[in-house]
Structure 1
Amino acid sequence: MKRILVPIDFSDNALNALEYARVLFNNEECTFFLLNVYVSNRSVMLSEEYNDAILGEMSDESEHELEALLKKLIKNNDHSNHEFKAISVPDTLLKAINSVSASKEIDYIVMGTKGAKGAKEIFLGSNTVKVINGINRCPVIVVPQSYVPKTPSIVAFSTNFKRTFHQNELAPLIEITASKGAKINIARIMAEEYLTDKQNANKEILKSLFQNLDHIFCKIDVENSETEALRDFAMQTESDLIALVHHKQNFFQKLMEEDVVDKISFNSPVPLLILPELK
């Protein structure tokens, strides 16, 4: 049984991410853990009694909204292999996700990219970035706010072949692609014209890992930035999902090192499947 964690703030973006998770794993036996996190910081300006009252109200509101959402999901659930459980936690989002991911042995985290008040031009909000950088035990799938959930048929996978991939590292990508009968377009994004011997060796390893999947290798020319190149490639090939391993040498890490405004401005047209790097 798959165990899927979906952070829920009851915004349209979060609910859309939940719907995407249900579509992506529609044929799988799944338990969806709906995690709502509310602020637990006590104010030093307020009395102990007042702090307790405020936190109590937050807890009651969180549990009430989760209960209402659960009832709605159960009532409209057309997949008998799907069940839903609610978790309400007074903590920071990252700490709560790390704790629940470990205790519930989560297989995937599926989340929206911003909350209800996010600006339209922003794709990766600060909370999303913190989760991606702070989670290293399971894949994170981030879903654009306006994306209409559908089963992926073409996956763009980004690599420069500078590192060796491992079976367990790519297992989530292989699993999703195989279960959906999707094609993988392996996007080689690099300025160099030719691969080194090491890169060619890594490419052969990747071929063996993808040998039972429909896949092709593509070279992408970088005119402005790697992020734009990958985004344009995904759009041109009508990809439904962008997959990459979150390691220090790939475009996502470079995105994190850019100017603070640019960090949250990568506007992907489709969901991202971010695989943790396994040493």
Structure 2
Amino acid sequence: MVQVLIPTDFSDNAMNALKYALELYKHERVEFYFLNAYQDDVYANDKLINRANFEDILESVRTNSQTLLESFLKAAKNLAPNPRYTYHTISAYNSLIEEADIIVNAKNIDLIIMGTRGKTNDKTISFGSNTLQVLKYVQCPVLVIPENYQYKRPKKIVFTTNFMIPYKRRELKLLSKIANPYRSKIDLLYISKYPKLSIRQEDNKTFIMETLPENDVNYVTEANKSVADAIQSYIKKHDIDLLVMVNTRHSFLENILFKSTIDTMTLHIDIPFLVMQNMGRY
């Protein structure tokens, strides 16, 4: 059974991510956890003037969170009356990052699915602040769904990598499980000015190929000084349905996620984006 965490702020983007998740896993047995972490909503409440009414505001926000989660759950059941699905709701007075970490570890979560942006929906940035924080700090694979993205079966997947790190078998199996029902083609895309691989890179490439024996995996090299340009060009040229990258120390993805401001990010994508986490969780 796959364990999936779906954080929600009850925005249209969160609902769109839910729809994608329900379609993606329709062939699998899945346990879904719907999370609303409402600590920020308490402190941002306009009626919170001083500590005298803090408890009243807290109770009001908590009640609203629980009510909206019930509506979110009802929508999920209406969208996917799937006997393979089990649903849970979690309303937590906590930050999203801290609560997501707790749930990931307690429930052995395989994948987090969320929208690229939430309520604020600032179209000038690639990822909203909550999504960016999850991508940076929660040690679990994250699948982000762009605003208004209409579900397509992930028939064509590009996994871009420099083959410099040892990959996690569990996360590669997760990718395999996503691809298998759709007989997806997975392109391993290596972008470099120098196409020849080192011994370490060859070994890591072999590990990927051996861990995905049931999948149609193809090795592709692209010569380009700009990784972001090469990825975007490849997505457009080959009509890719899902982009996969690994977030690890000193990787291209870590470099762009940890820029000083979100809006300076160089990678802008309009297809689902699966981020593997290679930092601490096996």
- 1:62-211 alignment, distance < 5 Å: 62-136=65-139, 138-211=140-213
CA distance in 2, matches of 1:245, 1:78: 33
Moved over 6 A (4+): none
Output the aligned Cα RMSD. Answer: 2.2
How far apart, CA to CA, are the structure 1 residues paired with 2:192 and 2:266? 22
The count of corresponding residues between Structure 1 and Structure 2 is: 276
Asked if the contact 2:153/2:182 (under 8 Å) is kept, the reply is: yes
Greater CA deviation, 188-197 or 139-148?
Answer: 188-197
Q: How many Å separate the matches in 2 of 1:124 and 1:242?
A: 15
CA deviations 1:11-67 (Å, max 9, x no partner) are 111111111111111111222211111126669x85444011111111111111112
Paired with 1:52 and 1:85, the residues of 2 have a C-alpha distance of 26
Q: CA deviation at 1:261?
A: 4.1
Counterpart pick for 1:54 among 48, 53, 57: 57
Unaligned ranges ≥5, structure 2? none
Query: Matched residues in 1 for 2:187 and 2:84: separation?
Result: 31
Q: State the one-letter code of the partner of 1:200.
A: E
Give the TM-score normalised by the residue count of structure 2.
0.89
Is 2:240 the partner of 1:239? yes
**Cα shift at 1:73:** 2.8
Structure 1 position 141, deviation (Å):
0.6
Contact 2:248 2:279 in 1 (8 A): no
Looking at structure 2, the residues matched to 105 and 152 of structure 1 have their Cα atoms a distance apart, in angstroms, of 25
Q: Which residue of 2 aligns with 1:6?
A: 6
Over the matched positions of the two proteins, sequence identity in percent amounts to 28
Could you tell me whether the CA contact under 8 Å between 2:168 and 2:278 is conserved in 1?
A: no
Give 3-state SS (helix, strand or coil) of 1:170's partner: helix
Q: What TM-score do the two structures reach when normalised by structure 1?
A: 0.90
Give the whole-Å Cα distance in 2 for the aligned partners of 1:3 and 1:209.
Answer: 21
- Cα 1:147–1:210 change in 2 (3 A) is same
| Cα deviations by residue, 1:170-191 (Å, 9 ceiling, x for unpaired) | 2211221223211101100122
